[in-house]
Amino acid sequence: MKKKQIAILGSTGSIGTQALQVIEEHPDLYEAYALTANNRVELLIEQARRFQPEAVVIANEAHYATLKAALADLPIKVYAGTDALCQIVESQPIDVVLTAMVGYAGLRPTMNAIRAGKAIALANKETLVVAGELINELARQYHTPILPVDSEHSAIFQCLEPGNALSKVILTASGGPFRQLSREELAHVTKVQALKHPTWSMGAKITIDSASMMNKGFEVIEAKWLFGVQPEQIEVVVHPQSVIHSMVEFEDGAVKAQLGVPDMRLPIQYAFSYPRRLPLSGGRLDFMKCRELTFEAPDLQRFRNLALAYEALHQGGNLPCIVNAANEVVVAAFLADRISFLGMSDIIEQAMQRIPFVAQPTYEDYVATDAETRQKAAEWIR
């Protein structure tokens, strides 16, 4: 059988490196065709030597010479720049594109991959947050499947029953490291505290998003576009043990959940192997060790980002794009100690109120909204 050819956008990140572990577990089924990264050129070189892909792309062109020289003895094509990154996904042999890069930068390569008819294993939730309607329309037009990698959405996907409508989806949230802090305490939390997530080890941006609940807000928006549900059909339940990865409720009231140890390799692998399941090494759920599964409502007063995301989803148009762009700016500022934890939501709210609303945005509108929001948000932080 022909091996599935996989392109990993963001192979040096948390999702990217775990995807390579999945490929390594099933060398008879999967092959890394293309690996891409932004700045971590040394790790990309190491991965290229080990997995011998057809091509590598470094988005930051400043690293091109280093990458090219380090791989000179191998028949690997070496490219640099975002245009090259957007083009590589169109390569004929590629079957699946795993979008494991972070942020808005994932939008254009994802659109190209869809147009080229590649199955999308979607980790880059920002793409659906920014332009969910456009992405769905493209996927329909080009008959391209979009398979969720986000653990909650993979869980929901694993619970679906063809032909049976959902009455709601229930996204579980760990609550992050600040679940029990008061607003006064939240005002003083630092990035070091925010970067310590209780259950998952992830890239810096999504770790801050998890602490601020923006990640859950984005997942609500992501769920709408992946599963065709309305905002009122998407419920968030805080479940600190992270054993239930999410649930669905059907019209007869039956609820199905997917459970397991927290391990992103499972949703990554399932997106590669769907509809089959494959063996996977690693821990197994031991119910004797998790006697207590608890649930609580999210606090929208303390975690305003979640309320802002619901608001953006209700109003639609370019508002989710505004929220995403403002969030990328404030998270970078928080990581640079230039804004407080609660200050992040203030800027996002300001952007929602002040950036012009576009009810039915085109791709060009998204590009313009993203650029304008970034510029304004950066000014407001100064």
Per-residue string for binding with ligand NAD, 331-360, x by CB under 6 A? ------------------------------
Q: Nearer to ligand NAD by C-beta: 292 or 377? A: 377
The smaller minimum CB distance to ligand NAD, of residues 262 and 316, is found at 262
User: Which of 97, 114, 121, 123 lies at the binding interface for ligand NAD (CB under 6 A)?
Assistant: 123
Q: Is 14 in the site for ligand NAD (CB under 6 A)?
A: yes
**Contact (CB, 8 A) for 36 and 15:** no
Smaller CB separation from Mg ion, 151 or 158: 151
Q: Of 10, 20, 74, 91, which Cα lies nearest the Cα of 269?
A: 20
Q: Which of 7, 15, 146, 347 binds ligand NAD (CB under 6 A)?
A: 15
How many C-beta neighbours within 10 Å does residue 259 have? 15
In DSSP notation, 212-266 reads HTHHHHHHHHHHHHHH---GGGEEEEE-TT--EEEEEEETTS-EEEEE--S-THH
Mapped onto helix, strand or coil, the DSSP state of residue 297 is coil
DSSP H or E run through 48: helix 41-51
C-alpha–C-alpha distance, residues 287 and 136, integer Å:
38
Q: Which does 206 bind (CB under 5 to 8 A by kind): ligand NAD, Mg ion, none?
A: ligand NAD
C-beta neighbour count of 161 within 10 angstroms: 11
Alpha-carbon distance of 210 to 220, in angstroms, equals 13
Quick check: helix, strand or coil at residue 166? Answer: strand
112 binds ligand NAD (CB under 6 A): no
Q: Structure tokens of 164?
A: 């049976």
| Element spanning 112, H or E | helix 107-115
Contact partner, 10, from Mg ion, ligand NAD, none, Cβ < 5-8 Å per class = ligand NAD
Is 58 strand, coil or helix? strand
- Regarding 105 and contact with ligand NAD (CB under 6 A), the answer is yes
Task: Report which residue's Cβ sits closest to ligand NAD.
Answer: 13
Q: Does 13 bind ligand NAD (CB under 6 A)?
A: yes
Tokens at 288, concatenated? 């004797």
Q: Is 53 in the site for ligand NAD (CB under 6 A)?
A: no
Q: Please, which residue, 262 or 358, has the CB nearer to ligand NAD?
A: 262
209 near Mg ion, judged by CB under 5 A: no
222 is a contact residue toward Mg ion (CB under 5 A): no
User: Given strand 55-58, what is the order of strands in its sheet?
Assistant: 77-80, 55-58, 30-37, 4-9, 96-99, 119-122, 146-148
Of the candidate spans 7-15, 140-148, 181-189, 374-382, the one that interacts with ligand NAD by CB under 6 A turns out to be 7-15
Indicate the residue among 126 and 150 with the shorter CB distance to Mg ion.
Answer: 150
CA distances from 165 to 168, 249, 252, 257 (A): 9, 9, 10, 16
Task: Identify what 154 binds: Mg ion, ligand NAD, none; CB under 5 to 8 Å per kind.
Answer: none
Contacts of 328 (CB under 8 A, 6+ apart): 103, 104, 126, 205, 374
Contact pattern for ligand NAD over residues 138 through 177, marking x by CB under 6 A? ------------x---------------------------
Near Mg ion by CB under 5 A: residue from 150, 209, 222, 328: 150
Q: Which is nearer to ligand NAD, 187 or 371 (CB)?
A: 371
Residue 16 in the binding site for ligand NAD (CB under 6 A): yes
- Regarding 206 and contact with ligand NAD (CB under 6 A), the answer is yes
What value, to the nearest 5°, has the Cα angle with vertex 247 and ends 214 and 18?
65
Retrieve residue 121's tokens.
């294993």
Q: Give the orientation angle of helix 151-159 with respect to helix 214-227, to 10 degrees.
A: 30
- Verify binding: residue 264, ligand NAD, rule CB under 6 A: yes
State the nearest-atom distance from the C-beta of 154 to Mg ion, in Å.
9
Kindly state whether residue 56 participates in binding ligand NAD, applying the rule CB under 6 A. Answer: no
For ligand NAD, the binding residue among 63, 118, 125, 197 (CB under 6 A) is 125
Nearer to ligand NAD, 202 or 355 (CB): 202
Q: Which residues bind Mg ion (CB under 5 A)?
A: 150-152
Q: Which residues bind ligand NAD (CB under 6 A)?
A: 10-16, 37-40, 59, 85, 100-102, 105, 123-126, 150, 200, 202-203, 205-206, 264
